[in-house]
């Protein structure tokens, strides 16, 4: 029997509370060297049983980071927060040190993600939040959209805003 640790940082979708440094023991018959982000989240059952200590919401989490043992494949994370108040949209990337090439890649894969999601229904409201996170990872494909979370936004609104943002960098 082998003992592994799953480490994770979560953010509450409801109140935006950050819940860092979570850890769970995972037993396995064989040595596990690598598990994908998706597999680890599935292993954690999407964190459905964990309650937010701030707002009480249960299982409503965004997974910022998750890794097995010390095998964190993520080098860096590019995050964009978008807000809507009375239909007025604002937002920007969180501060960080990114090369122009990284920023270009990040916006490109976000646009690809939006294309891939076309046809999905999102509920539109006057107020909303959207959070998009791109991971830069050590192995191929070297980058991925790990979180694309819309609350009150349509895909079209986010697409237009991303186009404006990316044109300005």
Scanning 6-14, 39-47, 114-122, 153-161 for contacts with Zn ion by CB under 5 A, the matching segment is: 6-14
- What's the min distance (Å) between Cβ of 51 and Zn ion? 9
Structure tokens at 93: 């990337």
- What's the min distance (Å) between Cβ of 6 and Zn ion? 21
Torsions phi, psi of 33, nearest 5?
Answer: -95, -35
Altogether, the residues listed in the chain come to a count of 169
Distance CA 21, CA 168 (A): 35
Task: Give the DSSP H or E segment for 148.
Answer: strand 143-151
Pick 53 or 140: Cβ nearer Zn ion = 53
Is 14 a binding residue for Zn ion by CB under 5 A? The answer is yes
Pick 17 or 69: Cβ nearer Zn ion = 17
Q: What is the size of the binding site for Zn ion (CB under 5 A)?
A: 8
Residues 6 or more apart in contact with residue 97 via CB below 8 angstroms: none
Is 17 a binding residue for Zn ion by CB under 5 A? The answer is yes
Q: Within positions 36 to 75, which residues make up the interface with Zn ion, using CB under 5 A?
A: 52, 54-55, 57
């Amino acid at each position: 029997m082998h003992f592994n640790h799953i480490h994770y940082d979560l953010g509450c979708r409801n109140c935006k509370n950050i819940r860092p440094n979570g850890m769970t023991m995972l037993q396995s018959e064989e040595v596990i060297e690598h598990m994908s982000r998706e597999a680890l989240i599935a292993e954690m059952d999407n964190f459905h049983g964990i309650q937010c200590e701030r707002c009480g919401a249960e299982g409503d989490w965004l997974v910022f980071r998750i890794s097995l043992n010390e095998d964190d494949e993520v080098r860096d994370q590019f995050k964009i927060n978008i807000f809507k108040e009375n239909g007025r949209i604002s937002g920007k990337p969180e501060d960080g040190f990114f090369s122009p090439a990284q920023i270009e890649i990040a916006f490109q894969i976000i646009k690809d993600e939006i294309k891939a999601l076309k046809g999905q229904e999102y509920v539109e409201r006057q107020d909303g939040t959207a959070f998009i996170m791109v991971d830069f990872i050590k192995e191929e494909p070297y980058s991925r959209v790990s979180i694309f979370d819309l609350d009150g936004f349509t895909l079209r609104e986010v697409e237009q805003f991303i186009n404006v943002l990316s044109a300005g960098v």
